[in-house]
Structure 1
Amino acid sequence: MAGQWLQWVRGVVTVHIRDGQPERLVNRALEGGLELSSIRWTSDGKLEFELSVGDFFRLRPFLKETGCRVHVTKRHGMPFWLIRVEKRKFFAIGLGVFFIGIYLLSSLVWSIEVKGNVKLTEEQILAAAKQEGIFPMQWSFKLKDKDILSKELVTDLPGATWVGVEKKGTRIIIQVVEATEPDKPDLESPRHLIASDDAVITEIYTEKGRPVVKKNMKVRKGQTLISGTIGGGEYTQSVVAKGKVRGLVWYEYNVASPLTQEVKVYTGEKKTKWYAVIGNRALQVSGYGKNPFGTSEDVVYEEQAAWRNWKLPFGRLKKTIMEVRTDVRELTVEEAKNNGMLEAKADVMQKAGSDAVVLKEIVLHENSDNGKVYMKVLFEVEQSIVEEMPLVQMQGE
């Protein structure tokens, strides 16, 4: 590796030898102390080899001695690179300024991200960080050591047990671990648990209180399921009734589902706009003009520039405007029925709760008229039927 680097610094040329005695030229050059490499014959019968720039000028006497002529085909190395740079001074200066700019931009703090906070607000944490010198557009080399920042932020933020500070490229991540406090039990008034709907009980579990119904019993809406009154006589006591009661509830729906459906279709026509992104700002660089489509959707794709593991505060954004149209699709009766059933079932689940289970779907009546399918549907659902009712105590009790 060191030898290759030294060769690049000295400069290397690739030459073709014509006429004369090429084999004798190689032997005489090697005997004369020249360093030749990659010696081979080309497909058109010419001898090719590589040698340093210094050895190239020492090759002349051997060429005269053997009657050969030389032609340089390739040049590479620092001497030739410097010649090209000399010819393109402004390009070289611009390239240098570009890399200096990248270095300076990557040495700034561009954004601060806060993680792990629950009780502490992001504004509180950012204010404390600013006091310790962490804020956007701050030079990275001016920041204190991570351990020192962590200790000082813990002191500045009451309620935080640990604060970690991590730098990723131009971004600072502040990870907060807050002190855990035991949950305070909510103050609850005595209550009964009553039925929220007419139902047949499928499951009952009493945690606190007195159950007054059993499994497979039919109950009416408002009927007491678990009483908050326990004991009897002078030992009667009011408690906060707690428990779980599930039952079968029936929902009847009149469904009207159309036999046509509007479908969004991409036409394939599109317009692309490019933007240069610097920080939180975007500057349009191509694709000017108004949106040529009556109906369209935007698809946005952003690329952030990076160098090694650092994300740089600039990049590019591609915005593609896709033309769309709305087509009307004819549905079969079965497809329309399925769509109607899905909408009705979604409404049932919203009313019955996330833990509800639809056990049966019974179509009581069905007919098609005026481009729609009409159905009367009965859903049998197992769900929680618990509702709280405050237990009002009479004065003097």
Structure 2
Amino acid sequence: MFIIRFLHFLMGVVPFEAIGGFPERFLNLCVQNKIALWDCHSRKGILTACTTAKGYFRLRAVANQTGMRLHHTGKSGLPFLLRRYRRRWGIAVGLLLFVTVLCVLSSFIWSVKVVGNETVSTQYITDTLASMGLKSGVLKSSIDPSALQSEGLVAMPELSWLAVNIKGSSAVVEVKERGMPPEIVPSDRPCNIKATQDGVILDITALDGVPMVQQGDAVVKGQLLISGTVEDKVGHTMLKHARGTVIAQTQRDIVVQVPYQQTKRTPSGKLTERRSLVLFGLRIPLTIGSNPQGNVDVQSVERPLSIGDVEFPISVRIDRYQPYTEEVITLSPEQAEEQARQQATNQAQTDLAGIEILNQAEDVQHADDVCTFTIHALCKEEIGLEEEIQYSAPDSP
């Protein structure tokens, strides 16, 4: 129904009345001359119907042949709309310019979004990608997603995976950080269980699959613990989703180094803000004055104009300049050791969270310019990790 109405709009619609004459002959001639009519009604000698703009002009000859008088009761559609504004060339020029600007703007990247990061900052990722050419205001045709993926992983070792997807005028960067929780293998897919750490097996329970090690065995990271490849009684090989628990005794070392000579920064002077308008990648200063020079810590915040999830290539950038002074201080061995111990303890609370510690020892070494503090932790933990078995399904006969 919508398509029919749209076609009527393109061709123009003229409702009309035909009075007197011979209505039956009028309709027959319309059919013979292929003049489209619809919504036809006859009442008290008056025939009412609708036709197209072109068809109405052809009806005049048919009306003369059948002795009927035509009178249109209205007109609507694109032909009449264009005729009404045919002398207003400014509208046509404006529409043409709008379409041209829209086409030009759609060929650029106007926003870069990062998803999937938790500990790695979005600013760090966008700044790194900007140095490689992916930033607001660049042509979409100049972006090579595969090259950005390989170069980005080299430049940002904190990431284990990176993908660039172009959606309209936005570039969506999907990342995965190193050390993030592994993806769980769906239960309907075959998998093995492998070791995540070096250690000595304390207990192994295989609920599904074949255990490949036993209590007391020493294993290394990546070693197969429970296999998902099993054989039935007649020797047929099957792939299963291995399930089970593997508890091992592991050794974890946390090492922190603190130099005796350190540079201390102390804020000095007044905090200065500079605002600028970023329009299509071009920065336009909104604040009069020069930026502070010398030792200055700069923090930048950019707030894009957006409506819902749609971001526009317009944003306000705020740069905050904080002057500071630097002072070189020398720690005593005791101060360096205390600082290293505190840092190592904090790191251990994070790295060993949820792990049972059987025994813990500390080791301190003082060199000429650095203090090295080490925590040796003997742990008891689950070291099994599911790893999907990659295989090719046999071709159907």
Structure 2 length as normaliser, TM-score?
Answer: 0.40
Structure with the greater alpha carbon radius of gyration: 1
Structure 1 length as normaliser, TM-score?
Answer: 0.40
